[in-house]
Each structure stands twice: as structure tokens, then as C-alpha cells.
Amino acid sequence: MTADIALVHDVLGARAGGERVLLALARIFPQAMVYTLLHEPNATFEGFEGRQVVTSWLQRSAWLRRNYRAALPVAAPTYSFTKVDAHVTICSTSGLSHHVRTTGAKVVYCHTPARWLHDTDTYLSGFGAPLRTAVKAVAPAYKQMDKRAMASADRVVANSHQVAAEIAEIYGIKATVISPCSSLSIDGPVQPIPGVESGFVLSPARPLGYKRLDVLVDAARQLPDLKVIQVGEGPHRQALLDTAPANFQSVGTVSDAQLRWAYRHAHVVALTCAEDFGLVPLEAAAHGVHTVAPNARGMLDHNEDMMTRYRFTSVPELVAAITAAPPPTGYFDAQHLGVERFAEEINEVVADVR
């Protein structure tokens, strides 16, 4: 029996923005089945527990579930042999899930064109030579597959104006811009992070080369009287800690309850990556906290009321912005998360393609 709505997401193996958006889509469409390449429940958000998740043959490898980037060379072909039977399939993609075949309409919600294909050196910064060599070997053929897959969509939606411009440049497709929402509610449980005291600089960003957390480490050196707390797990965490000063602390993966506590007890939020959109400023604003972020890419789509922008990778400007940031407002506003607006706009797209 053909389903009404199906959701497809690249990989369920991280606690990141794309997974937050998928959680929001799953709540908007509670009966939708979720398809993904690999699913590692302990590495992603708890909200997927109890959902019917369909995985690929790669799921049989426990090592790949923990190291999903190693599956990149075979990921797109695996998706291209997968058919989803639904009236409308929504592909939440950063470069893979839009390759899936569908029996009904296909909506592609693009977080970013495949960084590993179109910005390989930046995305794979810090990874070993074998993975970089394998990706570069398959890149020419994969770029053609990538373009065909995106062209198969009935509607392409971009999460920011920057991503829409990249979609136009790479694929020749005009995308609708729908800013994402965050599924991190402000009224859930709150739990302290052990060993962390109030009044810190918070950076919810995974330790990956392209996130440029080295800039945050350099800023921490110039702010010895401030504690800098990095939240999130990633393959380059140890390398980050090896160069960090004493006032920089990486706490790794935290629960949503601990993340709420972190927002509520931070003095300011600091980001160093020019994100494709970035949910952190929405979450910080919802908790009354000011965000300091690069003046580039998707950050330009955010409301400036709760944000200070600095020149990308400029440590002196980042330090100055952190120092001058206004204190937390002390009140919460869930409207900043954009949940109702996102649901309305996505439902309009689904109605149009039926």
C-alpha cells in the first residue's frame, strides 16, 4: 500500500542541524516512515526512538554505523537503487538522500549541495589520505549522478539564500527558500553539565575541520578569564584538545536537557563556521542568549536583533565581539525556533506537488 508521506535522510549518525530538521519533519508528518543509509541510535537524537526507520544494506556493518563518512564512495549508488513508495517523498539532504527513486512526487529539502563533492578540500580537512583519495577518485562520476538526482525532484527547497544560489550555480535549478526550524523545545527537562559553571562562552559545534574551531581555540587564548565550552562530538575532537588552552573545555555529546541548561547558563554563544544556515542562533535567541557568528553564508539570513557578526576567521574581531556581547535577556521565546512557520511552509510545498 502506497504511503502518503515518506521521509529520507542521508545518515542518522550524528546530533546535528540536519537531524534536528528531520525530527521537525517527523513531528509534522507523524505517520511517515523514515528511510536512511545508516542509523546509529546512540549517536543521534532520542526523538527517533519508536519511529519506523528503514536502513540500507550498509547497516549490517557496526563499524560503518560509527564511521559513516567512510561509506561516501558507495552511498550515492546505494540510494539510487532504493525506491520509496509514497505519494510524496521528502528528501532531507546534504548530498545523498536525493538520489533515492520515488513512485510519487519528490521534494528535496537541501541543507547544502554535497560539500564532499563540490567543496572536497574544505569538507575533508583533517581526514586521512585514504578517504580523501577515494572521494576524489569517484568525484567526477558522482558529480554527474548528483546533478541527475537533483534534476529528478519535483520541487527543490533550500534552507538559505546562500544555498539557493549554490543550487542555481551547480544544478541550474531555482530553489524555494524555506528557513529550517529547530526541534529543541525550550520547555523540556533541564540537566546541568558536570564540571561546568555558569557564565561561559558556549559553542555548540561538532569538532570537524570545516567548522574552524581552531579559530575559537585561538580566541580562547586571548580571553584567559573566560571559560569557553565546546559542545558536540566529532572525529577531530582530540586534535582540537591537543592545541587548546586551559580555559577551553570540550564536553562532547550532551543530551537535549543538558543543551538547554548550557543555553540558559551561557553568557554568549560563539560560532566560527560560516554555516549553510545554522540552527544555533535560533536556539540561542529562544533562550535569550546573544550569538556571535561569521558574517557569511547562511548566517546572513538570521535576524540581527540577537546576533553580532564578525569577519570570518578573524580572531581579533571574534574576541572583540565576545567581549562586547550584551548579557542574556533572561526570558525565553519559542517563536524564535520557527516551528509553526516551518510546518506551514512545508505543508504548502507538499500540497503543491500532490
pLDDT for 71:
83
- Nearest 10 degrees: Cα torsion 286, 292, 298, 303: 50
Question: Where is pLDDT greater, at 114 or 312?
Answer: 312
**Nearest partner of 97 among 171, 22, 10, judged by Cα:** 10
Crossing angle (nearest 10°) for helices 17-28 and 339-353:
70
- What DSSP string describes 175-235? PEE--------SSS---PPTT--SSEEEEE----GGG-HHHHHHHHHT-TTS-EEEE---T
Residue 114's pLDDT band, with cuts at 50, 70 and 90, is confident
Q: Can you read off the three cell numbers belonging to residue 195?
A: 564540571
Coil vs helix vs strand at 303: coil
Each residue of 115-161: pLDDT tens digit? 777 877 666 666 677 767 777 777 777 888 899 999 999 999 999 99
Domains 3-181+338-353 and 200-337 share a fold: yes
Query: 192: which residues sit within 8 A by CB, 6+ positions away?
Result: 258, 261, 265
Question: Where is pLDDT greater, at 234 or 126?
Answer: 234
CATH number for 3-181+338-353: choose from 3.40.718.10, 3.40.50.720, 3.40.640.10, 3.40.50.2000: 3.40.50.2000
The alpha carbon of 3 is separated from its chain's Cα centroid by a whole number of angstroms, namely 27
Q: Can you read off the three cell numbers belonging to residue 183?
A: 526541534
pLDDT for 122:
67
**Nearest partner of 92 among 128, 125, 44, judged by Cα:** 44
- Which CATH superfamily does the domain covering 200-337 fall into? Glycogen Phosphorylase B; (3.40.50.2000)
Cα radius of gyration (the chain): 20
